[in-house]
């Protein structure tokens, strides 16, 4: 069944009210809400080949947005505006490496998971420090848009490769990637724990897993669901499910003790007319970037 967004903001508020009790973590630093605990594995649970992170309803929703993905004023305009901050965040992560010299690292290999129309993948491939970008997405129409747009720039040939697949169907390469990105992806996954377990082998030891997502708070419901989707329609209705949002403390708790280190976070806020801006502490209430480095 295709996802049909709630037509009235009050209806969504009623749903949130009904789920608040089971959605609030007892300890924000270590526990997920009850609605998310069922989606995250215990330490004993292992990823298995039958698991899939691909939700057919999510694929159908983003297929419908494919046509204007590259329009700076279309349904993906907030992603276009956020893209410079993605690169700023990655540069900050790389600069913090203990082994990093004054010069930026070169010949970097990226894996962009859930690449959509290729906004980040293209920009990463154009960097002089990039050797290659592999970008994957299970949404056919959106990936076709990404491939068609990349063909317009001959400089991307040999540096950017799109694959119509999911992470579960992608083979782990002999040489894992320096940077694996999950931008605006994790909040669309039904089982984020199993998904992140599957992603880990694709990050080389010492490499970075970077993502952006949204905290599950009343403020984020107000700004992303009520205002952005229902009232202003600057985001297509039905894009976000508030119950799938993940708090920063929950992510930290999930990665703890699983071969990751140096967690980093950057809260960001969308300011109409100015775009996305870094705001310290805003990761507690809304959009934020998060990264962890794989143990050497």
Q: Determine whether 154 is exposed, middle or buried from the number of CB atoms within 10 Å of its CB (0-12, 13-18, 19+).
A: exposed
Burial of 119 (0-12, 13-18, 19+ CB in 10 A): buried
In 3D, which of 225, 239, 236, 207 has the Cα closest to residue 286? 225
Pull the structure tokens for residue 163: 């694959």
Nearest in space to 201 (alpha carbons), one of 141, 127, 113? 113
Rounded distance, CA 26 to CA 11, Å? Answer: 26
3-class secondary structure, 287: strand
Q: How far apart are the first and last CA of the chain?
A: 44
Quote the tokens at residue 2: 């295709």
Bind-site residues for Mg(2+): 184, 187-188
Q: Which pair of structure tokens corresponds to residue 244?
A: 């799938």
CA–CA separation, 219 and 206 (whole Å)? 35
Task: Output the known binding site for S-adenosyl-L-methionine.
Answer: 86, 114, 137, 183
3-state SS assignment for residue 1: coil
Closest CA to 228 of 248, 208, 242, 212: 242
Q: How many residues does the chain have?
A: 296
Q: Which two tokens stand for residue 20?
A: 């608040």
In angstroms, the CA 290 to CA 266 distance is 7
Q: Write out the binding residues.
A: 86, 114, 137, 183-184, 187-188
Choose among 221, 94, 80, 196: nearest CA to 149. 80
């Amino acid at each position: 069944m295709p996802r049909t967004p709630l037509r009235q903001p009050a209806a969504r508020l009623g749903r949130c009210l009904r789920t608040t009790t089971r959605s609030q973590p007892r300890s924000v630093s270590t526990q997920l809400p009850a609605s998310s605990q069922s989606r995250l594995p215990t330490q004993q649970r292992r990823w298995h080949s039958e698991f899939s992170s691909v939700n057919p309803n999510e694929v159908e929703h983003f297929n419908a947005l494919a046509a204007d993905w590259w329009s700076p004023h279309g349904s993906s305009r907030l992603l276009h505006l956020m893209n410079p901050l993605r690169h700023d965040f990655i540069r900050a992560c790389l600069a913090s490496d203990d082994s990093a010299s004054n010069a930026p690292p070169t010949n970097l290999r990226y894996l962009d998971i859930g690449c959509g129309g290729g906004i980040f993948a293209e920009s990463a491939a154009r960097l002089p420090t990039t050797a290659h970008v592999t970008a994957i997405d299970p949404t056919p129409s959106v990936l076709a848009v990404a491939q068609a747009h990349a063909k317009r720039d001959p400089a991307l040939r040999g540096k950017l490769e799109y694959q119509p697949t999911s992470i579960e169907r992608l083979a782990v390469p002999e040489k894992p990637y320096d940077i694996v990105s999950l931008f605006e992806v994790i909040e669309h996954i039904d089982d984020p724990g199993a998904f992140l377990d599957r992603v880990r082998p694709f990050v080389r030891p010492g490499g970075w897993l970077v993502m952006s997502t949204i905290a599950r708070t009343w403020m984020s419901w107000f700004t992303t669901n009520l205002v952005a989707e229902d009232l202003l329609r600057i985001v297509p209705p039905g894009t976000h499910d508030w119950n799938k949002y993940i708090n920063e403390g929950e992510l930290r708790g999930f990665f703890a003790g699983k071969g990751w280190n140096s967690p980093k976070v950057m809260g960001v806020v969308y300011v109409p007319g100015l775009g996305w801006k870094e705001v310290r502490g805003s990761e507690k209430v809304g959009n934020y970037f998060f990264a962890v480095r794989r143990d050497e």
